[in-house]
Amino acid sequence: MQPDSQLTLKLPEGYTFADLKLRRCDDDAIDLDMDLVKIICNINGLNFDKVCQNPGPVVTSILTVWYKSHLAEGGQPDALMEELKSQGSRLN
């Protein structure tokens, strides 16, 4: 995969970025609606059980793709996503 290639992921219809219920936990970890992640895994042919064993890469992809789409469609910036981006995270 080329470094400048676009990441593609099918997003579920009828849901918004806010439906992920993204939040920061007390231990600085990130929490989100894993039921929605399961739906996204299913529509993209990903094994949810395997994703749960190492959720980082898939969750990062979901957040990145969906947030970019959210902003492109005129959605309001999300404070936690903006914080993650400013920390130099892969979510940019």
d(CA 79, CA 18): 12
DSSP symbol at 28: S
pLDDT, tens digit (0-9, with 9 covering 90-100), for 45-58: 999 999 999 998 99
d(CA 18, CA 67): 10
User: Angle formed by the axes of helices 56-72 and 79-86, to 10°?
Assistant: 120
Alpha carbon 43 to its chain centroid, in Å, reads 15
Backbone angles phi, psi at 42, to 5 degrees: -60, -45
d(CA 63, CA 81): 8
What per-residue confidence (pLDDT) applies to 91? 56
In this prediction, residue 85 has a pLDDT band, given cuts at 50, 70 and 90, of confident
Domain ranges of the chain: 17-86
pLDDT, tens digit (0-9, with 9 covering 90-100), for 16-71: 999 999 999 988 889 999 999 999 999 999 999 999 999 989 999 999 999 999 99
